[in-house]
Structure 1
Amino acid sequence: MTHHLSTEIAVVGAGVIGMAVALRLRAQGHEVVMIDPNDPGAGASYGNAGTIADYAVLPVGTPDVLKNLPSLLFDRNSPLAIRHAALPTLAPWLLRFARQSLPAAAARNAQAIAALLANATRSWEDFATEIGGAALLQRRGCLYLYETARAFRAAEADMAQRRRLGITVELIRPEALAAMEPGLPAVEGGAAYFPQAVFLSDPGRMMAYLADAVSRAGVPHLRHAITRLSRQLDGVVLEGQGLRLHARRVILAAGAHSRPLAAQAGDVVPLDTERGYHVEWAMERPLLSRPTCPTTRGFYLCPMSGRLRVAGTVELGGLTAPPAAHRIARLVAGARAIFPDLGAPTRSWMGFRPSMPDSLPVIAASARGPEVIHAYGHGHIGLTLAPITARIVADLVAGRPPELDIAPYSARRF
């Protein structure tokens, strides 16, 4: 039996972006429904490192990454790796990624990321208060850990670039690091300290607060997988098994699952999938007090409520393959290289990040008309950018100029 429904605005996707958008639009008086076959916030919105990463202004693709790309992609233990079976379908994305890693493109992309991140911390403080989750925001900053003196010296140019993009960062020596994080083993290099960064002590719980706020605002959650989008003279029809929904407006916020619907809306977008992993150890006191990224290892050590989460690495490999056991093993081995006394992990997880070749999200009206608005492709900073993405989408729905120039985030930029 197929349910025939209608609404003013349909938000496809119930991750942190979709929920933030639905809540914002409902607060502005719109009739909104949210469509997702899974529990709200169940994917990458839950499984991330929990950082509100206002410092993450550099794209994944940079000249240094481009120089090392072959060895990175084809080393199965690299922080940036590829499932070999996925190479034929990923080749066009990788070519675009290589072009976007050239100096001029990477510098332009960094400026566009920095513009989105400019008020990320304040936006999240307001957002967490709105949804009742302010107690989960930890204001202790974030560390990039350099295990060798050579890596610490090399970080100076990286941090200088971040400062030029408006980021506050301090390079600290091993003695100062030891005073800040006595649970970390001694390192030869030091760390970069981002004092203005905040993090969530429990991303899953924050998603539960957000889902509850969306529900209390009167936004229904339809548990369907949308497989077809078609434009009509008076709006858009969304179809999935057991559902046919007519909406005057559709917001595509389905993360890594957004590309087929974007194409049906008339926008061919080079979106692909990063498979992200985390491993957790249950512990009353999680060994350190702020997220810490050992930079050469490509993951974060994340102190969370009742556990240490080790999250990160990039594996390009699509939406269908099962988790790779060697990627989980790599996280475990990396964590034990920092904390040798860690025993067996309590649990592991894999989820999907929506990845664009230039590390910029797509936040824009469709080229075919404003009945469809894109809001996906945030890569590693979807959690961070949820509040500002919601504000931009609300401005587009209302016909207002957004608070910043959104031309860099167009669906047509490729």
Structure 2
Amino acid sequence: MTERHTTEIAVIGAGVIGMACALRLVSEGRQVVIVDPEPPGSGASYGNAGTIADYAVQPVGTPDVLKSLPSLLFDRNSPLAIRHAALPSLAPWLLRFARQSLPGAAKRNAHAIASLLAGAAPMWNELAAEVGGEAILQSRGCLYLYETTKAFRAAKADMAFRQSLGIFVEMLRPEELAALEPGLPVVEGGAAFFPAARFLSDPVRMMALLAARLEQAGVTHLRHRADRIQRRIDGVLIEGPGLHLHARQVVLAAGAHSRRLAAQSGDTVPLDTERGYHVEWDMERPRLTRPACPTARGFYLCPMAGRLRVAGTVELGGLTAPPSPHRIARLIEGARALFPDLKEPTRDWMGFRPSLPDSLPVIGPSRDGAQIIHAFGHGHIGLTLAPITARIVADIIAGRPPALDIAPYAATRFHGR
């Protein structure tokens, strides 16, 4: 039986981006409906590293990555890997990624990422307070770990560049790192410490609080899949199995599933999927007190409530292939390189990150106008950018100029190239 609904604003997607947008809009007096067949806060919003990574200004594609791209993509053990069966369909995306990894493009993309990230910490403070999650939002910083002195020295140029973009970082010698995190084994090279960074000690609980706040505010969650969006003179029609919804405006925040709907809005976006993994060990005290990323291994060690989560790596492979046991095994092996006494993990997970070749999200009106507003493609920093994206979306809907220039994030940046 098809449900028929009308609303002022429909948000397609119940991940952290969609929920943050919905909360911001309802707080400004808008009538909002969320459309998503999955429970709120599932997918990448559930399985992430929990970091509010306002220091993560570097795009995935850089000149160093470009030099190493062939070996990275075809080494099954690298932090960036590709399923060989997906290579033909991924080839256009990879060509764009290579172009965006050239020095000029990478520097431009880093500046655009830094502009978005600048307000992440205070806006997350506000969001956590609004939903009652202050105790979950931890302010103890984050670490990049360098397992050799050569890697530590090589990182100094990267850190200097981040500092030029306003990121505060301290370079720690091994003994300083040991004093800060005595539960870590000795790390030969040392670490980069971002003391102002924040993280969520329980992303699942924070998503539950956000969903509960939306329910209290009267936001309806329609558990249906949106297959079609069609502009009308008086709004947008959204249809899917059992769904017929008319909205004055639509916010497209469907993460890795956004490309097809964006195309229906008139925007061809080279969105593809990074398959991210995590493994968890239940433990009362999870070995360290803040997230730490062994940079050569491409994952985060994440201390969370009652467990240690090891999350990360990048696998390009689409939305349909099953999880890779090899990628999970690599995470376990990497974690045991640092903590050899770890037993078999308690659980593992795979989810989908929406990935664009320039590492910039798509935020702003669709090409044919603000009836449809894009809010997807945040890659590795979707959790970080949720409240910032929500503010931009609310500004567009209210007719206010956003606080920053959103031209670098427009879907139209891909048209004609």
Same-fold call, TM cutoff 0.5? yes
SS for the counterpart of 1:99 is helix
Q: Map residues 221-260 of structure 1 onto 2, 5 A cutoff.
A: 221-260=221-260
Give the whole-Å Cα distance in 2 for the aligned partners of 1:102 and 1:137. Answer: 36
Aligned equivalent of 1:193 = 193
Give the whole-Å Cα distance in 1 for the aligned partners of 2:247 and 2:187. Answer: 57
Q: CA deviation at 1:3?
A: 1.5
Give the whole-Å Cα distance in 1 for the aligned partners of 2:375 and 2:162. Answer: 26
SS for the counterpart of 1:110 is helix
Aligned equivalent of 2:3 = 3
Aligned equivalent of 2:368 = 368
SS for the counterpart of 1:393 is helix
Partner amino acid for 2:272?
D
Q: Map residues 144-183 of structure 1 onto 2, 5 A cutoff.
A: 144-183=144-183
SS for the counterpart of 1:135 is coil
Give the whole-Å Cα distance in 1 for the aligned partners of 2:368 and 2:91. Answer: 27
Give the whole-Å Cα distance in 1 for the aligned partners of 2:127 and 2:369. Answer: 30
Q: CA deviation at 1:119?
A: 1.2
SS for the counterpart of 2:128 is helix
Aligned equivalent of 2:142 = 142
Give the whole-Å Cα distance in 2 for the aligned partners of 1:76 and 1:246. Answer: 46
Q: CA deviation at 1:187?
A: 1.9
Q: CA deviation at 1:233?
A: 1.2
Give the whole-Å Cα distance in 1 for the aligned partners of 2:398 and 2:182. Answer: 51
Partner amino acid for 1:371?
Q
Aligned equivalent of 1:397 = 397
Give the whole-Å Cα distance in 1 for the aligned partners of 2:370 and 2:170. Answer: 44
Give the whole-Å Cα distance in 2 for the aligned partners of 1:188 and 1:47. Answer: 30
Aligned equivalent of 2:130 = 130
Give the whole-Å Cα distance in 2 for the aligned partners of 1:330 and 1:258. Answer: 29
Matched, 1:280 2:286: no
Give the whole-Å Cα distance in 2 for the aligned partners of 1:90 and 1:389. Answer: 27
Give the whole-Å Cα distance in 1 for the aligned partners of 2:31 and 2:188. Answer: 57
SS for the counterpart of 1:413 is helix
Partner amino acid for 2:77?
N
SS for the counterpart of 1:358 is coil
Partner amino acid for 1:338?
L
Partner amino acid for 1:212?
A
Give the whole-Å Cα distance in 2 for the aligned partners of 1:214 and 1:172. Answer: 42
Deviations 1:292-344 (A, max 9, x none): 00000000000000000000000011111110000000000000000000000
Q: CA deviation at 1:394?
A: 0.2
Give the whole-Å Cα distance in 1 for the aligned partners of 2:409 and 2:365. Answer: 10
Q: CA deviation at 1:138?
A: 1.0
Q: Map residues 74-85 of structure 1 onto 2, 5 A cutoff.
A: 74-85=74-85
SS for the counterpart of 1:329 is helix
Q: CA deviation at 1:6?
A: 1.1
SS for the counterpart of 2:73 is helix
TM-score by length of 2: 0.99
Aligned equivalent of 2:112 = 112
Aligned equivalent of 1:303 = 303
Give the whole-Å Cα distance in 1 for the aligned partners of 2:396 and 2:266. Answer: 18
Q: Map residues 255-274 of structure 1 onto 2, 5 A cutoff.
A: 255-274=255-274
SS for the counterpart of 2:308 is strand
Q: CA deviation at 1:272?
A: 0.5
Give the whole-Å Cα distance in 1 for the aligned partners of 2:46 and 2:223. Answer: 18
Q: CA deviation at 1:55?
A: 0.2
The Cα RMSD (Å) is 0.5
Give the whole-Å Cα distance in 2 for the aligned partners of 1:304 and 1:4. Answer: 41
Aligned equivalent of 1:56 = 56
TM-score by length of 1: 0.99
SS for the counterpart of 2:413 is coil
Give the whole-Å Cα distance in 2 for the aligned partners of 1:186 and 1:223. Answer: 49
Runs of 4+ in 1 over 2 A off after TM superposition: none
Q: CA deviation at 1:369?
A: 1.3
Structure 1 unaligned residues grouped into runs of 5+ = none
Aligned equivalent of 1:100 = 100
SS for the counterpart of 2:296 is coil
The number of residues matched between the two structures is 414
Structure 2 unaligned residues grouped into runs of 5+ = none
Deviations 1:330-383 (A, max 9, x none): 000000000000000000000000001000000010001110000000000000
Matched, 1:328 2:338: no
Deviations 1:170-222 (A, max 9, x none): 00100101111111111221000000001100000000000001111100000
Q: CA deviation at 1:411?
A: 0.3
Give the whole-Å Cα distance in 1 for the aligned partners of 2:214 and 2:269. Answer: 29
Give the whole-Å Cα distance in 1 for the aligned partners of 2:211 and 2:81. Answer: 33
Q: Map residues 29-40 of structure 1 onto 2, 5 A cutoff.
A: 29-40=29-40
Q: Which moved more, 1:2-11 or 1:341-350?
A: 2-11
SS for the counterpart of 1:26 is helix
Q: Which moved more, 1:229-238 or 1:302-311?
A: 229-238
SS for the counterpart of 2:238 is strand
Aligned equivalent of 1:215 = 215
Q: CA deviation at 1:132?
A: 0.5
Partner amino acid for 1:108?
R
SS for the counterpart of 2:297 is coil
Matched, 1:26 2:32: no
SS for the counterpart of 1:250 is strand
Deviations 1:241-297 (A, max 9, x none): 011111110000000000000000100001000000000000000001110000000
Q: CA deviation at 1:137?
A: 1.1
